[in-house]
Amino acid sequence: MSHVLEIRGVSSGYGEAIILRDVSLTIAEGEIFALLGKNGMGKSTLLKTALGFLRARSGAIHLLGQDVTGREPYKVARLSLAYSPQEGALFQELTVEENLRLVQPAGRRLQAGIERISEYFPIIRQRLDQKAGTLSGGEQKMLIISRALLVEPHLILIDEISEGLQPSVIDRLADILRRERQRTGVSILLVEQNVTFALSVADRYAILKIGEIAAAGRVTGPETAASVHAHLRI
């Protein structure tokens, strides 16, 4: 079985600070993986290291079968994957259409993609010429997901998308992610603080605590949620 993402023994941090210590995880094809943990525990750092924004001090990262350790971010980004960062994920001054066009050049594929996405989010087609910054918070998150789904990648990395969304919207989002995985076999790495949402879509999970994986396993049922909550208790 080939892994879409393979992180082995990776340590990284900012300047002198070591945020991640010897972290390993793998994501298989068509798998939805939830990376859980409280703020400041290193989840975003892990994503940034995987993408090449941060240099891994040790260990190796393999993406879609290729060794991408130390590769420049834009080269990593071009390997059939989509990344939705936690902050600054959209170009506020560019229109919806331009934000989409940045990942899918103008043409038939872009049009077909927009059509497809608009079935999930009619808003997209309606607001193509509006500046992304004028959309509401929830609509912006929809746009971010749309952009990720547009290119039909093999792996989607999503950093804290559920923040600030209404429960009903979160449910829809979970549904859409599951459907896309069904349709295309895309793998998804979901970094989340919202445990309920994460566990409602994920097949497997891991919990990051002070830069190390404190717990991991398969999502089997309600008992998983209880065990995870126990780890994350305030």
Partner 1 sequence: MFSLVLDIATTASILFSVAAGLLVVLGVLKIVNFAHGAFLVIGAYSALVVTWLGLNPWFAYPVAFFFGAIIGAVIERLVVRPIYNRPLDAILATWGLSIVIGQLITIGFGREIQFVQTPIAGAITMFGETYSQYRLFLVLAAVVVAGGIGALLNATRLGLEARAVIMNEPLAMALGINSDRVRFITFCFGSALASLAGALITPLSSVDPNLGIPWLVNAFMLVLVSSVSLASLATAAVVLGGAQVLVSTFVSPVIGGLTIVVLAALILRLRPEGFSRG
Partner 2 sequence: MAKMSVTATGSRFARNRVFWVLGLACVSLAIIGAGPFLFDTYTVNILVRSFLYAATALTVDILWGYTGILTFGQSAFFGIGAYAAALTFTHFGFSTEMALLALVAGVAVSAAVAAIVGWISFWHGASSLYVAIVTLALPIIVVQLLYTGGTFTGSSSGLVGFEAFDLSVEAWFWITGSALVVLTVGGWFLVNSDFGRVLVALRENESRCTYLGINAPRLKILLMVVAAVIAALAGYGYASYTVVVAPEIASFVFGTELVIWVALGGRGTLIGPVLGTVAIDFISAYLSGNLPYVWKLIVGIIFVVVIVALPEGFLPVITRAGRWLSGCFRHAPKIVQSGSVALSLAEPPSTVGEGAGQPAVSVKSLGKRYGSSTILDGVDFTASGSEILSIVGPNGAGKTTLMRCLSSGTERSAGTVFFYGADIGRLPPYSVTALGVGRSFQTTSLFDTLTVAECLRLARFRLQRPAFWRRDQRLVLPPAAMRVVVATALDTQLTTEARHLSHGQKRALELAMVLALEPRVLFLDEPTAGLTKQERTLIGSILVDLTRREALCVLLIEHDLEFVREISTRILVLHQGKVLLDGSVQEVVESEIVRSIYAGHVKPETGETRL
Task: Note the residues at the interface with partner 2 (CB under 8 A).
Answer: 13-19, 38-41, 86-87, 121, 123, 133, 136-139, 142, 160, 162-167, 169, 172, 192-198, 210, 229, 232, 234
Query: What is the distance between the alpha carbons of residues 204 and 180, in angstroms, rounded to a whole number?
Result: 17
Whole-number Cα distances in Å, 92 to 26, 98, 104, 143: 34, 10, 18, 11
Q: Which of 1, 16, 17, 93 binds partner 1 (CB under 8 A)?
A: 93
Q: Which does 106 bind (CB under 5 to 8 A by kind): partner 2, partner 1, none?
A: partner 1
Least Cβ distance, residue 210 to partner 1 (angstroms): 25
CB 131, CB 93: distance < 8 Å: yes
Looking up tokens 């910054």 gives 133
The minimum distance between CB 107 and partner 1, in angstroms, equals 11
With CB cut-offs between 5 and 8 Å by kind, which of partner 2, partner 1, none does residue 59 bind? none
Q: In terms of CB distance, is 13 or 52 closer to partner 2?
A: 13
Residue with tokens 């999503």: 158
Angle at 105 between CA 100 and CA 107, to 5 degrees: 105
Q: List the structure tokens of 41.
A: 């525990």
CA dist., res. 68 & res. 63, Å (int): 6
Among the candidate windows 15-23, 36-44, 96-104, 115-123, which touches partner 1 by CB under 8 A? 96-104
Phi, psi dihedrals of residue 209, rounded to the nearest 5°: -135, 120
Q: Measured from the CB atom, is 81 or 96 closer to partner 2?
A: 96
Q: How far is the CB of 159 from partner 1 (least distance, A)?
A: 11
Please identify, using beta-carbon distances, which residue of 73 and 138 lies nearer to partner 2.
Answer: 138
Cβ 190 vs Cβ 201: under 8 Å: yes
> Residue 187: which of partner 1, partner 2, none does it interact with, CB under 5 to 8 A by kind?
none
- Tell me if 83 sits within 8 A of 157, measured CB to CB: yes
Which chain residues interact with partner 1 by CB under 8 A? Answer: 51, 53, 72-74, 77-78, 83, 85, 88-94, 98, 101-103, 105-106
